[in-house]
Structure 1
Amino acid sequence: MKVATPSRYTYKVQERGDRVRPNRFHSRYAILKLLLEKLQYLVESELLVPGEKLLDYGCGNKPYESLFKQKFARYIGADFPGNDRAEIAVGCQGQLPIADASIDCVLSSQVLEHVEQPQVYLKEAYRVLKPGSALVLSTHGIWRYHPDPCDYWRWTAAGLQREIVQAGFEIVSVQSVFGMASAGLQLWQDATEEKIPGRLRKFYIWLLQRAIAWIESRHPERLSNDAAVYIILAKKSRGEEKVFS
């Protein structure tokens, strides 16, 4: 879900590419492959309990639909008006026309950094989830500015967990994608690739993405406090419903 201005909340139609099967010369090849692997780990683990309905909250082009359909029979996309892939249109602050405690999982993939008021968004996700159900959320730590059409936030691992807990959730697991060296090399690529002559640019990107993948292969399970992306699995409490003012 992408926030534009207070007077215009519409989906930004653009080519978003294939996040699941990126080309090897793609400037985001390494991070997209690693992010997919981390999400696959969650889907295949017992940490994420199967259910009937998953809500992709800010669904874009639904890149992970086939992955999460392994555990959830109905995959429902929600986004601002203008996204033809979304079954549900959300309000200007992310309001969902969905009943309380009616969803088995909320997926939020690279959305939170584009949201004007993260607590409003997270509390709406909390509201529609059934007690004990899961929020799967990924967003950025260290990353370049990328308005879509706006770009508001970056988090540390501790700051992101605090944000999610403040909305009422319990943290189950935290994963990271890229450490400091990989994130720094990605930023170096982003800062320099336009300076490389056209015929050499694809090879330049391929070489740096291979280097990033090699760095990450040395510490595949390490949680980095200087990551490019964090992936949080959190759950709505099974106890008494929380009331937010």
Structure 2
Amino acid sequence: MAKSKRRLSDEQYEAELFRLQAEMVKVQEWVRAEGKRLVIVFEGRDAAGKGGAIKRITQYLNPRVARIAALPAPSERQRGQWYFQRYVEHLPSPGEIVLFDRSWYNRAGVEHVMGFCTPVEHRRFLHQCPIFERLLVEDGILLRKYWFSVSDEEQHRRFKARVEDPMRRWKLSTMDLESITRWEDYSRAKDDMMVHTDIPEAPWYVVEGDVKKEARLNMMAHLLSTLEYRDVPLPEIAIPERPASTGYVRPPRDHTNYVPDHVEGLL
């Protein structure tokens, strides 16, 4: 019998996660200081752990530097535009990081499998996407693409857990449920997408996601390894002394609507 893989303890996970998050803060300062433009694409199976990875990556980042692009379904006007047009609007300016929580690859996955685009539109996407991404890279954008994989058994377990948890049930959509019955269709679509869009200028990196915590650490560590960032010295900050009072008196407490002390009732 094969020996089971040893797992990280919660303490080991939290320590390594915090170390990687500290490195991401360094990346943020490097991006801002050097005027870099970093795009990270998160794609993959439903319930494969994309959202959890994005949450941990951005936890300590400045939202004015690092922002998440999670686009809704296109409007009628957008459906008449060049397909990539609405994504271009969300690309970073110098000194910014954009994390795409799903991206232009919707056309290669859900739109293709669910019939939301025509076969001609799908073929056009597979032809244009490598060209589009080469243009981004040639213009200096740092493009990283991650595909989060999960087994059908683990995906089913996570879906079931969401159904039973009222705090997370909102994460389970009808489209997610469709992915169960169309597992092989999505697999074929992903394989076809990889053949056409796994290019040297912007390769795909697959994250094995059956163990969420390990997937997060693996993805974050790999992302850092692909960036030639440096530690940017932060400016010295001197907190000034508070000046002497000039006689200001705070208004009486009963003149202001304070939030009731909810915590006191718990003690």
TM superposition score category, shorter chain reference: 0.3 to 0.5
TM-score normalized with structure 1 length: 0.34
TM-score normalized with structure 2 length: 0.32
Structure number with the higher strand fraction is 1
